[in-house]
């Protein structure tokens, strides 16, 4: 998690502003934040929801947090100015930014192997051949995370939106076996992969995400806003389309879209937690996908000038990417934090 989400969750727990609204979809302001942050009760992490058999787990988590010496965060000072200080003050403990840890090694061979490399469902050669054939910043990369369990009808709407957008894309489909069988049947019946051949690739399984995001042809990332994916795309200077699903992902969306201003929303208003997929059905239609892609990717439709939101978003994410790399360099903010962390731990051990 980032400090933005940690501080948001802490302040909601401390002040209980979510109890002042009359419905799960009514927005409320989170107090004590460096920026104005409004969110609906339904979009809060699971710790604030009435979930069966979770009270004991929550209490144990809070006990563990209260006994901790401090908090290590995979982020960097320049990305969240003021949030480390605010969170440290709120919890009365030390906070160390030590990221982005994904920049520890960015050689191409390591970018391809990063993650679950034993199960990567596309060869490096095939992936690079596709990306190398595309114009700079023209490809939209789509991955909703390894825990995505969206129903087939929702995934079909996503696929149809990608097709209708007219943009080159790489779509990673990872879902449970039952749903994967239905998606495969739909793709085969509708000849989806044949229809998008030459401008779209469907990866059924794990993808070399870091390699794709680092490639110059990648111009956008449709993401579930999990923090590991979010910080990775920030490092590579790729603007985002946000499609949060659950946990703290709606808070991460707030950081990306409203604070950093480097992304656009696809328009999801309620979470899709495990077990709720069938009940909730289709929340995002193909036209929502097309609209978001055009907002993020289509320079021609936005009369791009130096003052356009399109160029401001791209310039901003590139500036942040440079800051990320400087943060992990010698004497950078995160590098210095790692040194401070080591010294603080040694000092603490000497007192025991």
Give percent above pLDDT 70 in the chain.
91
* Section 248-260 average pLDDT: 97
How many other C-beta atoms are found inside a 10 Å radius of the C-beta of residue 19? 10
Asked whether 18 and 12 are in contact (CB, 8 A), the reply is: yes
Q: CA 93, CA 200: separation in Å to the nearest integer?
A: 48
pLDDT score of 230? 97
**Token couple for 16:** 């209980």
Smallest Cα–Cα separation from 32: which of 86, 91, 92, 84?
A: 86
* Section 120-135 average pLDDT: 92
* Section 292-296 average pLDDT: 96
Which residues does 85 contact at the CB level (< 8 Å), separation at least 6?
none
- Helix, strand, coil in percent for the chain, rounding step 5: 50, 10, 35
pLDDT score of 107? 56
Please tell me the least confidently modeled range out of 19-28, 68-77, 116-125: 116-125
Q: Is 42 helix (H, G, I), strand (E, B) or coil?
A: helix
pLDDT per residue over 159-207, tens digit each?
A: 999 999 999 999 999 866 678 899 999 999 999 999 999 999 999 988 9
pLDDT score of 75? 97
| Residue with token string 């563990």 | 64
Burial level of 81, CB count in 10 A (0-12/13-18/19+)? exposed
Q: CA 284, CA 123: separation in Å to the nearest integer?
A: 31
* Section 241-268 average pLDDT: 97
> Global pTM?
0.92
What residues does CATH 3.40.50.2000 cover in the chain?
3-101+330-351, 107-322
How many other C-beta atoms are found inside a 10 Å radius of the C-beta of residue 91? 18
HSE (side-chain half, CA atoms, 13 Å) at 237: 18
Asked whether 85 and 330 are in contact (CB, 8 A), the reply is: no
Q: How confident is the model at residue 267 (pLDDT cuts 50, 70, 90)?
A: very high
| Residue with token string 């707030």 | 254
Q: Is the pLDDT of residue 90 over 70?
A: yes
* Section 326-350 average pLDDT: 94
Q: CA 12, CA 20: separation in Å to the nearest integer?
A: 11
CATH fold of the domain at 107-322: Rossmann fold (3.40.50)
pLDDT per residue over 41-78, tens digit each?
A: 999 998 887 766 667 777 788 888 888 899 999 999 99
Average pLDDT over the chain reads 91
Q: How confident is the model at residue 301 (pLDDT cuts 50, 70, 90)?
A: low
User: Which CATH class for the 3-101+330-351 domain?
Assistant: alpha beta
């Amino acid at each position: 998690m980032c400090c933005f989400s940690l501080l948001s969750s802490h302040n909601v727990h401390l002040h209980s502003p979510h109890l002042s609204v009359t419905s799960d979809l009514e927005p409320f302001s989170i107090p004590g934040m460096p920026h104005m942050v409004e969110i609906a009760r339904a979009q809060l992490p699971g710790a604030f929801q009435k979930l069966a058999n979770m009270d004991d787990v929550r209490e144990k988590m809070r006990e563990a947090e209260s006994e901790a010496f401090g908090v290590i965060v995979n982020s960097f000072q320049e990305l969240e100015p003021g949030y480390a200080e605010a969170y440290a003050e709120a919890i009365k403990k030390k906070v160390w930014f030590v990221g982005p840890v994904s920049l520890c090694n960015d050689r191409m061979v390591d970018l391809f192997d990063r993650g679950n490399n034993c199960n990567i469902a596309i060869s490096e050669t095939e992936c690079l051949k596709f990306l190398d054939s595309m114009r700079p910043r023209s490809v939209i990369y789509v991955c909703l995370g390894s825990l995505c369990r969206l129903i087939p009808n929702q995934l079909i709407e996503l696929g149809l939106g990608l097709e209708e957008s007219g943009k080159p894309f790489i779509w990673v489909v990872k879902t449970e076996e039952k749903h994967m069988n239905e998606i495969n049947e739909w793709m085969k019946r509708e000849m989806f992969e044949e229809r998008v051949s030459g401008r779209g690739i469907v990866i059924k399984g794990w993808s070399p995400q870091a390699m794709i995001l680092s490639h110059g042809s990648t111009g956008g990332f449709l993401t579930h806003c999990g923090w590991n994916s979010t910080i990775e795309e920030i490092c590579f200077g790729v603007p985002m389309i946000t499609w949060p699903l659950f946990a703290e992902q709606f808070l991460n969306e707030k950081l990306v879209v409203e604070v950093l201003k480097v992304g656009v929303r696809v328009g999801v208003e309620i979470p899709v937690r495990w077990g709720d997929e069938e009940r909730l059905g289709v929340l995002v239609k193909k036209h929502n996908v097309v609209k978001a892609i055009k907002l993020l990717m289509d320079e021609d439709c936005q009369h791009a000038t130096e003052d356009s939101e399109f160029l401001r978003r791209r310039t901003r994410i590139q500036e942040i990417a440079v800051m990320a790399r400087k943060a992990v360099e010698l004497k950078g903010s995160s590098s210095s934090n790692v040194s401070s962390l080591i010294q603080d731990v040694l000092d603490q051990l000497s007192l025991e």
